Chain A
Amino acid sequence: MNSPANAPTGATAGSEAPAPLDRNKFMVAVFADFVCPYSFITIDQMDRLSAEYGVRVLWRPHWLHPETPPDGKPYDDNPDATKRRAAVMDWVKEMSPEHTTQMRFPDRMQNSFLAFEALEFAVDHGRSMPFKSAVFTRLWNAGEDIGKVATLQKAAETSGLDADKLGQALRARQYSQRALAAVTQARDLGVTATPTMFIGRTRVNGWHYYEVIQTIMEKQGMTPLGDPAEVSQH
């Protein structure tokens, strides 16, 4: 075969035998990049998963385009690249119409690394989930540059973080080593696409329907909060 697309786009499941129900220990980790439109439509899925199943979701960075300069760079404007971006946008809007009404491609390819550093700050202050959503929204709805401290401070303000302290931490590059370690961890795990989700023992390469994630949860013995099946197990 001669196509890079040979890898399954779906789940690569581990053992599917139901495990004892323990929401506190059940781990969901999402490796994503803010500049990835497929990751953008995953944020609502993961927030919903956390709320419906009572599981903790860990949001980790995978740096798709480390070659992007800190100030970003223009997208290729050749017809093929423009057409490809339009096709991706059409795809994303068909997959998640309810979450993409205001979505638009930013004007430039942006550098994610400063946002990864800010995400570490948010982790330390217990606000990583709302902060990651706010950063995505700044980029994909408002078209703002997440490579700028001011943009990340705006995201901090709307997610319960101290914007001034975040600004200080970013200017001092206080979290750069941690962000770099996180990016390295993703690479060491063999993450190559975003989002890559580890749902308990199952790895999902690429975006998938929420119903697929539900199926994966249930195959591992996880039921929604308040589900009668859960009550009967106690």
Chain B
Amino acid sequence: MLKQYVVDAAKVPWKSSETDGLTFQCQVMLDGDDGGPEAIRFRFDPTSAVYAHMHLTSQFQLLIAGGMDMPRGQMNLRPVSIHYTDHNTPYGPFSCAPGHDMLVLHPKSGGLISMANRDARRKINLKARLLVAHLEDQHWSALEDKPGSRIQSLIPADMGPEALVIELTAGAEMPTAPAAYGRYEVVLAGSVHCDGEELGPAGFRHVQGDEAPAPLRAGPQGARIALLSFDADALEGGLTGEGIAVTAAQAMARAI
């Protein structure tokens, strides 16, 4: 069975918001209220120092513009960058450079909990993975049977979660495969045709199931697409309705 969500970023309203002194604009692209994926686009104001926090589910952060600097590990993210964390993995604080634009992609509702919360610290995932990768001009490979199209692996599948970027020429179809734990297919540039809609930058499809979804087809200007696949960690955590999950759900609700 295949389940999919299609989101046209151009149709999702922007909200201005504030939490704990941080100001930002956001689009709630998928709210996760049906038990499905949760996806939020954030544009933090450049002066923000985003406090250390974690989410109760696995997460891809996809930086599509601006910058994010995390002093620990000297992680300086510039577009296009991927920052993956398992459920209950703290990160930050981090600062955001001007023009910041980022998609926060969860397999299900993950809430938000500050690491100032000492109870939350006792729930940190001790075996967590934190993976960071950047799109690099020199790492492209030709895409088989797709002349002019190309692919780049940012996080290889043997790490568990996988991140790929594919560039398709106009009209080319994206190779497709089932996504057991869920996969976001995010348009980074150009456009794709999907179920009768044309999705532009920051639009996406989320697919999950044991069947391969219909292939996305690149629009007239071609398309650059990020494919972000979760692994079994997507089944862990979540908003269980008890303990710190209550706090996390409330904090996210306040934030957005």
Contacts and interface: CB of A to CB of B under 8 A. Distances in A.
Interface of A: 1-6, 8-13, 84, 87-88, 90-91, 94-95, 202, 206, 208-212, 214-216, 219
Contacts of B133: 1-3, 6
Given A1-B132, A2-B136, A13 B126 contact: yes
A87 B126 contact: no
Interface string B73-106: 1110000000000000110010100000000000
B72 A216 contact: no
A211 B154 CA distance: 33
Given A87-B95, A212-B121, A94 B51 contact: yes
B132 A5 contact: yes
Given A84-B71, A211-B121, A10 B128 contact: yes
A95 B89 CA distance: 15
Chain A to chain B: the 8 pairs with minimum beta-carbon distance, closest first: A211-B121, A5-B73, A87-B71, A1-B133, A3-B132, A209-B121, A91-B71, A11-B126
Interface string B55-73: 0000000000000010111
Interface string B129-145: 11111101001000000
A94 B93 contact: yes
B227 to A, nearest CB: 15
Contacts of B125: 10
B118 interface: yes
B178 to A, nearest CB: 24
Contacts of B122: 211-212, 214-215
19 contacts: A1-B132, A1-B156, A3-B134, A4-B73, A5-B74, A8-B129, A8-B130, A9-B72, A9-B73, A10-B128, A11-B127, A12-B127, A13-B126, A84-B71, A91-B71, A209-B115, A209-B124, A211-B121, A212-B121
Given A94-B52, A208-B124, 19 more contacts: A1-B133, A1-B159, A2-B139, A4-B73, A5-B75, A6-B131, A9-B72, A9-B73, A10-B126, A10-B127, A10-B130, A84-B71, A90-B49, A209-B115, A211-B122, A212-B124, A215-B122, A215-B126, A219-B126
Contact size range, B: 20 to 34
Contacts of A214: 122
Contact of A3 (B75, B90, B93, B124): B75
- Main SS class of interface, A: helix
B155 interface: yes
> Which of A8, A202, A219: most chain B Cβ within 10 A?
A8
B131 to A, nearest CB: 6
A87 B69 contact: yes
A160 B134 CA distance: 51
B122 to A, nearest CB: 5
B124 A215 contact: yes
A59 to B, nearest CB: 22
Contacts of A94: 51-52, 93
Residue from the set A2, A5, A208 with the largest chain B CB neighbour count within 10 Å: A5
Given A1-B156, A211-B118, A13 B75 contact: no
Nearest to A202: B126
Contacts of B131: 1, 6
Q: Which of B72, B121, B124, B126 has the most chain A CB atoms closer than 10 A to its own CB?
A: B126
A91 B93 contact: yes
B155 to A, nearest CB: 6
A215 B121 CA distance: 9
**Residue with the highest number of chain B CB atoms closer than 10 Å, among A12, A209, A214:** A209
A5 B130 contact: yes
A216 B90 CA distance: 16
